[in-house]
Amino acid sequence: MRETEKMKLAVVGVTGLVGQEIVKVLEERNVRIDQFIPVASERSVGTEVSFNNTGYKVVGLESAISMAPDIAIFSAGGSVSLEYAPAFAKKGCVVIDNSSAWRMNPDHKLIVPEINGSILGPDDKIIANPNCSTIQMVLALAPLHNAFRLKRIVVSTYQSVTGTGKAAVDQLFAERSGSETVDRVYPYAIDMNVLPHIDVFMNNGYTKEEMKMINETHKILHDDSIAITATAVRLPVMGGHSESVNAEFHDEFDLKRIYDILSEAEGITVLDNPGENQYPMPLHAKGKDDVFVGRIRRDDSHPNTLNMWIVADNLRKGAATNAVQIAETLISKGLVR
């Protein structure tokens, strides 16, 4: 895009939890936008959202397409993306999609900018944003994979209700308040409970969320040889997702080198001092863009194997921030008109 041209950016699904976070991240990171286009479903058209202390009327998808934005960040679900992302792209817009619709499509790139943002090119008109739980795990593992070559990953997730959306948050707080009328998103109560069930169950006994982590990690790291198994669990918490990761490497490693690599990695904060009870928690991650890593230790039961505890705000780096960083990468590389 030439400096004399105006940057038009649309946020599709602007009224949702992730959409609202995208707006906040765009403001905080001072992304240059000359024309902001808030987009949502028909029931929200005409309502007003604020961006950089200015009110903007929400428009519908067809109106947004006619406005020909340079970049459209989608957070409106897979069906909306499958139907409308190609229409935006046909107008010359670059779509950054938060749903799972395009992630495993071989014709579209799955991007975590710190890891593989360099592969973006002028032909990329629909770019997939990975699953939130995948992003935080691969951000911590990618630099270690480069150094020691990952062989196997065993991950268990402890995921916030915010990953399901506003209705799940409402269910949690309705149950917590003792309300007799609860609109249930989950098959059971979530307050004072733990659900080993995120997304639908597949024929292999894994959930779709677990398979996303496996397949997306292979694609982002560009290495299908890594053995991966996952268990995804929903907890009644806010602020972010937590993960227990057991990573086996082909090569021997030194723990000090592990600390050094993670401490120097972009987007990672090492928080690991058990003697002072310092370790990552959703309380630390909420509202922050970094991925926090702690409880770093050898797995003494198996050679060349490491345990880590990884926490990140799923609405920030797990969704909104990563999408905005992709937009920033496109702008910096001159890939938007």
Catalytic residue ranges: 132, 241
Pairing of strands 54-57, 94-97: unpaired
Cβ atoms 33, 26 nearer than 8 A: yes
For the chain, the helix, strand and coil percentages under 3-state DSSP, each to the nearest 5:
35, 25, 40
Burial of 229 (0-12, 13-18, 19+ CB in 10 A): middle
Radius of gyration of the CA atoms of the chain, in A: 20
Bridge-based pairing of strands 227-234 and 268-270 is unpaired
Is the distance from CB of 73 to CB of 114 less than 8 angstroms?
Answer: no
Backbone dihedral region for residue 330 (phi beyond 0: left; psi -120 to 50: alpha; all else: beta)? alpha
Neighbours of 275 (CB within 10 A): 5
Q: Is residue 230 helix, strand or coil?
A: strand
Classify the C-alpha dihedral 70-75-80-81 as positive or negative: positive
Cβ distance 217 to 138 under 8 Å?
yes
